[in-house]
Chains A and B, each alone.
Chain A
Amino acid sequence: GAGVSQSPSNKVTEKGKDVELRCDPISGHTALYWYRQSLGQGLEFLIYFQGNSAPDKSGLPSDRFSAERTGGSVSTLTIQRTQQEDSAVYLCASSLGGPTSYNEQFFGPGTRLTVL
């Protein structure tokens, strides 16, 4: 079946603009995760959803970041008033179970965000 998909694959924006990143998880996966990877670095955990609910938003870097998930499927990560330090690859993953059960995560190809 289809894997995790993300759109757009690349996004170039100007400082101060808002951007919206989309993630389509594997069908039937109940949990969804967002990460950020800066150039040459490891992955930074941002937020996860169990169904449509995000129990803990403390991993989001600032209040300019928000995320939502609707219908237990598609998720969007929104960055308002983008700054140059937001430039990174944003990765999405999904898993069949969730944090308290079988939690093998499968990743999408990422969205490369460049803020000029």
Chain B
Amino acid sequence: GIQVEQSPPDLILQEGANSTLRCNFSDSVNNLQWFHQNPWGQLINLFYIPSGTKQNGRLSATTVATERYSLLYISSSQTTDSGVYFCAVDSNTGGFKTIFGAGTRLFVKA
């Protein structure tokens, strides 16, 4: 089945710094989403981005479906950005499923 790999697995930033999180997937996918799981466990939608580029405030994302990767950019990081960032892809190969990466755990220091 499809493999979804996220990097880096862990990231520590000083408040105000910028970062790039990466999601690689091993086969063509139908959809791709980025989520932020906050310290209370709630998954918050960041981007629904099967292809192209989107921006929302300090966050932006780019998916290059033909090269099988997506990037999440966080600019001017804040302590509230801490948590785990997941990418998730939909696959219809051998039946539908949504596959999550293992996540990038981000800690932003004040």
Contacts and interface: CB of A to CB of B under 8 A. Distances in A.
Interface of B is mostly: strand
Given A42-B102, A59-B97, A99 B30 contact: yes
Question: Which of B33, B42, B43, B92 neighbours the largest number of chain A CB atoms within 10 Å of its CB?
Answer: B43
A94 to B, nearest CB: 12
Interface of A is mostly: loop
Interface string B15-56: 000000000000000110101000001110100100000000
Interface in B64-88: 86, 88
In the complex, which range does the number of interface residues on chain A fall in?
Answer: 20 to 34
A109 B88 CA distance: 18
A104 B43 contact: no
Contact of B100 (A43, A103, A110): A43
A58 B94 CA distance: 11
Nearest to A89: B41
A93 B98 CA distance: 11
Contacts, number: 55
Interface string A97-116: 00110011111011000000
A65 interface: no
B59 interface: no
B30 A103 contact: yes
Contacts of B102: 41-42
Nearest to B95: A56
Given A35-B100, A43-B88, 15 more contacts: A41-B102, A42-B101, A43-B86, A45-B97, A45-B98, A55-B95, A56-B96, A58-B95, A91-B43, A99-B90, A99-B92, A100-B92, A105-B33, A106-B45, A110-B42
21 contacts: A33-B98, A41-B102, A42-B86, A42-B100, A42-B101, A42-B102, A43-B88, A43-B100, A48-B97, A56-B95, A56-B97, A89-B41, A99-B90, A99-B92, A103-B31, A104-B31, A104-B48, A105-B88, A105-B98, A107-B43, A110-B42
